[in-house]
C-alpha cells in the first residue's frame, strides 16, 4: 500500500494505471475510519483492479462554528485499517494542495441541497460538491462508494455526476450500525458515556416509525409525532430536523409509502448526529 500526499503525484499515478487498463475503485472519506468505511473499502476491493482511499478533512464543507479544528484525525490508524481492507493507494492531500492560492471555482447545485442538512448547514453541500468533483478529477475512478447514512449527500453526488456527465458509477452502501443500533459515525467519538446511551434515541425513533409503517400507519403527522416523543423524552437531545420526504426528489411526503425517506438530525449535547431509513427497505 502506498501513501501519497501530493496532488500531481496522485493524478499521474492513477492516469498511468488507467493507461494500463486498470479499473479504479474509489472510497472518499474524511478519515477517522470505522467499520462503516471498511464496508465500503471491502466492496471496492471486490469491484476494482486498484482500490484508492482518500482521507481529507475538507474545510470548505464546514460552516462557521462547526467542528473543523476538532474533527477527529488518526492517519496512522486509518492506514492500518486501509491496508487490512486491501487498499492499494491512500491519497491524503493537504488543504493547501487541494485549494491553492487564488482558488475560486464552485459547483452550482439545485433543489436537492435545500432541505434537511442543506437548511441546517448553509454552504455545506457546495463544499462537498467542489471537493468530490476535484477528487474525481484527481483519482479518475471508474466506480466510487458512499455510505447511505449521508443520504442527501449521496443523492446530490448522484445528480451531480449525471448532470456533469462524469464517467463514474456511484454506489450507495448500507448504513453500518453498532450492535445496539447506533449508526457508526466518526463523530460518535465526541460522545461521553451517558451521551452515547442518549444517542440511541435516533435508532429507536427509526425503529418505531418503521414498526408503525409496517403495521399500516401512513400518516406523516402521526409517524413524526411518535418519533418526536421518543427523542424529546431524552435529556440532552435536541431536534435539528425530523422529516419524511420522497427518497428521490427529497420533496416533503404527503403520506408515507415504501419510497418515503425518514431522515433526522439530532444534537446530543453539542454533537450533531444524523440517521435515516427508507421505509420500504429491508434491513
Q: Is 102 part of any domain?
A: yes
The residue annotated as part of the active site, out of 5, 34, 37, 124, is 37
Residue 134 confidence (pLDDT) above 90:
yes
Q: Which of 142, 173, 204 is the last residue of a domain?
A: 173
Q: Is 178 part of any domain?
A: no
Q: Is 179 part of any domain?
A: no
Q: Is the same domain home to 165 and 272? A: no
Average pLDDT for 45-73 = 96
What per-residue confidence (pLDDT) applies to 264? 98
Q: Is the same domain home to 27 and 151? A: yes
Distance (Å) of CA 168 to CA 130, 145, 160, 163 = 16, 10, 11, 12
Q: Is the same domain home to 80 and 153? A: yes
Q: pLDDT tens across 163-182, in order? A: 999 999 999 999 999 999 99
Residue 283 confidence (pLDDT) above 90:
no
Hey, what's the cell of 52?
Answer: 484508492
Q: Is the same domain home to 86 and 143? A: yes
Hey, what's the cell of 25?
Answer: 475503485
Q: Is the same domain home to 37 and 106? A: yes
Active site residue 34: no
Half-sphere CA count of 163, side-chain side, radius 13 A: 13
- Kindly report the CATH number assigned to the domain that includes residue 248: 3.30.1300.10
Q: Is the same domain home to 152 and 18? A: yes
Q: Is 153 part of any domain?
A: yes
Domain count, the chain: 2
Q: Is 90 part of any domain?
A: yes
Hey, what's the cell of 194?
Answer: 451517558
Hey, what's the cell of 170?
Answer: 456511484
Q: Is 235 part of any domain?
A: yes
Q: Is the same domain home to 153 and 101? A: yes
DSSP 75: H
Q: Is the same domain home to 224 and 145? A: no
- Kindly report the CATH number assigned to the domain that includes residue 70: 3.40.50.620
Q: Is 281 part of any domain?
A: no
- Of all residues in the chain, the percent with pLDDT exceeding 90 is 99
Q: Is 244 part of any domain?
A: yes
Q: Which range of residues forms the domain containing residue 7? A: 2-173
Hey, what's the cell of 156?
Answer: 446530490
Closest to 56 (Cα-Cα) out of 162, 123, 127, 142:
127
Distance in Å from the first CA to the final CA of the chain = 34
Q: Is the same domain home to 161 and 253? A: no
Q: Which of 119, 148, 173 is the last residue of a domain?
A: 173
Q: How much is the pTM?
A: 0.97
Q: pLDDT tens across 230-282, in order? A: 999 999 999 999 999 999 999 999 999 999 999 999 999 999 999 999 999 98
Q: Which of 173, 202, 227 is the last residue of a domain?
A: 173
Q: What is the DSSP string of 76-91?
A: HHHHHHHHHTT-SEEE
Query: From CA 120, how far away is CA 123, in angstroms rounded?
Result: 10
Average pLDDT for 141-154 = 98
Q: Is the same domain home to 137 and 210? A: no
Q: Are 230 and 212 in contact (CB under 8 A)?
A: no
Q: Is the same domain home to 211 and 126? A: no
Residue 221 CB contacts under 8 Å (≥ 6 apart), including other chains? none
Q: Is the same domain home to 10 and 47? A: yes
| CB neighbours of residue 226 within 10 Å | 15
Amino acid at each position: 500500500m502506498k501513501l501519497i500526499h501530493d496532488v500531481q503525484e496522485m493524478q499521474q499515478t492513477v492516469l498511468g494505471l488507467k493507461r494500463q487498463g486498470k479499473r479504479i475503485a474509489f472510497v472518499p472519506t474524511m478519515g477517522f475510519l470505522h467499520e462503516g468505511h471498511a464496508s465500503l473499502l471491502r466492496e471496492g476491493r471486490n469491484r476494482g483492479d486498484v482500490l484508492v482511499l482518500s482521507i481529507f478533512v475538507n474545510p470548505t464543507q464546514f460552516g462557521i462554528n462547526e467542528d473543523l479544528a476538532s474533527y477527529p484525525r488518526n492517519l496512522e490508524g486509518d492506514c492500518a485499517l486501509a491496508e487490512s481492507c486491501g487498499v492499494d493507494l491512500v491519497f491524503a492531500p493537504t488543504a493547501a494542495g487541494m485549494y491553492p492560492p487564488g482558488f475560486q471555482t464552485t459547483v452550482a447545485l439545485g433543489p436537492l441541497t435545500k432541505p434537511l442538512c442543506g437548511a441546517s448547514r448553509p454552504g455545506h453541500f457546495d463544499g462537498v460538491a467542489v471537493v468530490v468533483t476535484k477528487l474525481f478529477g484527481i483519482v479518475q475512478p471508474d466506480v466510487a462508494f458512499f455510505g447511505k447514512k449521508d443520504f442527501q449527500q449521496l443523492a446530490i453526488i448522484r445528480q451531480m455526476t449525471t448532470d456533469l456527465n462524469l464517467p463514474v458509477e456511484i454506489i450507495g452502501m448500507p448504513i453500518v450500525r453498532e450492535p445496539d443500533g447506533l449508526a457508526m459515525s466518526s463523530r460518535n467519538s465526541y460522545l461521553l458515556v451517558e451521551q452515547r446511551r442518549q444517542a440511541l434515541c435516533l435508532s429507536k425513533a427509526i425503529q418505531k416509525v418503521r414498526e408503525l409503517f409496517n403495521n399500516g400507519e401512513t400518516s406523516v403527522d402521526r409517524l413524526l409525532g411518535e418519533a418526536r416523543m421518543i427523542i424529546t423524552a431524552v435529556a440532552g437531545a435536541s431536534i435539528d430536523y425530523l422529516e419524511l420526504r420522497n427518497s428521490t426528489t427529497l420533496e416533503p411526503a404527503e403520506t408515507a409509502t415504501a419510497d418515503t425517506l425518514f431522515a433526522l438530525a439530532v444534537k446530543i449535547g453539542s454533537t450533531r448526529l444524523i440517521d435515516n431509513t427508507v421505509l420500504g427497505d429491508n434491513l
